Homo-oligomer: A and B are copies of this chain.
Amino acid sequence: MDNWAVEKHDSFMYGFNVKEVLYEKKSRIQEIKVVATERYGNILFLDNCVMLSEKWEFIYHEMIAHPVLFTHPSPKKVLIIGGGDGGTLREVLKHPNIRSVDMVEIDEDVVNVCKEYFPAVSKQINHSKANILIEDGIKFVANKKNEYDIILIDSSDPVGPAEGLFNSTFYKNAMESLRDDGILVAQSESPFFEMSYFKNAVNNIKKAFPISMTYTAFIPDYPFGLWSFTMGSKLYDPLHNFNKDNFEKYKLATKYYNQNIHFAAFSLPNFIKDVIK
């Protein structure tokens, strides 16, 4: 008998053929579900939305981390908001210039479930440079000033627990948590799917930072397969400040990101440019 794990919206649905449901439980924060599939490995759902598959998670995690880490000339201290699966942390720690990473995840169960069912994603959770904090990222950021070189907002959608990670107050506080030449990058939703979420995220980052730039990546785990990220920066620009020296020195083993992709990802189709201009 067919068993499908689906992400279902009013207008659109998609789903994966499931071999076995490995985990299904409500945490203090949200519904967590892990299914095993033949072709995409294990897949994590939070509140019935796909967060990642073992097969394709590398794309989201490489693309939230490397463009910003190769834009800042010497990032040392990094903050990740969300990212409980550990994939963003894993990519950040590939950069040898990083000295410490604070990862602030609101749901401890996500961290523990991912340790068990996504070991290749969460493998750096216990790294000596990583400091895992189970806290509300919104409150955390409100209390930090002039501390981080880079902040990565690795959140779920702006409904439910992550809603406050998309508004102006949060981005303003995040800006103040950054040093004078700091850069923030946030997943900024899909221009194909919920255009209003996308527009809202981009506009709020634009209001908070002198430089803001949106880029895209193919993320097959998410509805319609296109996802966006937006950088808010105080000084550096990803197109003019690409750190070719570090890029060539580090020779990171990436499966999606490369030097051409670094630049190409910022080339937006007309219909997306029109929405955010």
Chain A positions near chain B (C-beta within 8 angstroms): 4, 6, 10-17, 37-40, 56, 59, 192, 216, 218, 220, 224-226, 254-258, 260-261, 263-265, 267-271, 273
Contacts and interface: CB of A to CB of B under 8 A. Distances in A.
- The SS class assigned to the A binding surface is mixed
Contact of A225 (B13, B224, B269): B224
A221 to B, nearest CB: 9
Nearest to A7: B14
12 contacts: A14-B15, A218-B218, A220-B225, A220-B226, A224-B225, A225-B226, A257-B270, A258-B270, A260-B268, A263-B267, A264-B264, A264-B267
A12 B15 contact: yes
Given A254-B270, A256-B271, A13 B14 contact: yes
A270 B257 CA distance: 7
Nearest to A63: B269
B256 A218 contact: no
Given A12-B40, A59-B269, A257-B269, 12 more contacts: A11-B16, A12-B14, A13-B14, A14-B15, A192-B218, A218-B224, A218-B225, A224-B225, A255-B271, A261-B269, A263-B264, A264-B265
